[in-house]
Amino acid sequence: MVTVNKYLYEDDFGQKICLCSEKQEYKVLFREVNETELKTNDVDSVTKASIYKMEKLVVMCTECKKIYFVSMSFEGSFKSQYVTLESVELFDGEALEARNLINRIYSEYEDAMVDIATDDYVIKVLSKSEDDEKTNTRYVYLNREDSILYSDLQSE
């Protein structure tokens, strides 16, 4: 299942990423997701893990505008959720460099099954497979609305 979150919060990561303030809101600039959703009956879906995700993200702190590259995994059901931060790296370049890097990473995904585009974002569904036990979906998301990353284009 493809999901779009324009913002993530401290709870989504399981810990603080940026130390700038108490308000921990991050704008999602880029996201690569490899998701497995188990097909379970209604009782099992409440008690057992039914979704597994591996994600690579580029996020921006909405307070101080620092950009972070994050790798994380998620395992969850209706009853419980577990998040593991694999890595967090602060990007030390300029916003234009970050935009060029993110756009280059996004454009490397050429074999999309489906392209979805709005004024705010684009998504490429790279693969989807299904069997009796699970559905695997792999997709990438690119935010196209950030005023800092795209300030040079918006001023024209």
Whether 1 is covered by a domain: the verdict is no
Its pTM surpasses 0.85:
no
Q: How many structural domains are present in the chain?
A: 1
At 95-154, the pLDDT tens digits run: 889 889 998 999 888 888 888 888 888 899 999 998 888 899 999 999 987 656 555 444
Residues found in the chain: 156
Whether 126 is covered by a domain: the verdict is yes
Whether 43 is covered by a domain: the verdict is yes
Tokens of 117: 């585009």
Whether 31 is covered by a domain: the verdict is yes
At 46-71, the pLDDT tens digits run: 556 588 999 999 999 999 999 999 99
Whether 56 is covered by a domain: the verdict is yes
Q: What angle do CA 93, 99, 126 make, to 5 degrees?
A: 130
Whether 2 is covered by a domain: the verdict is no
Cα atoms found within 13 Å of the Cα of residue 30, Cβ hemisphere only: 20
- 57, β-bridge pairs: 31, 70
Whether 73 is covered by a domain: the verdict is yes
Whether 130 is covered by a domain: the verdict is yes
Range of the domain at 60: 7-153
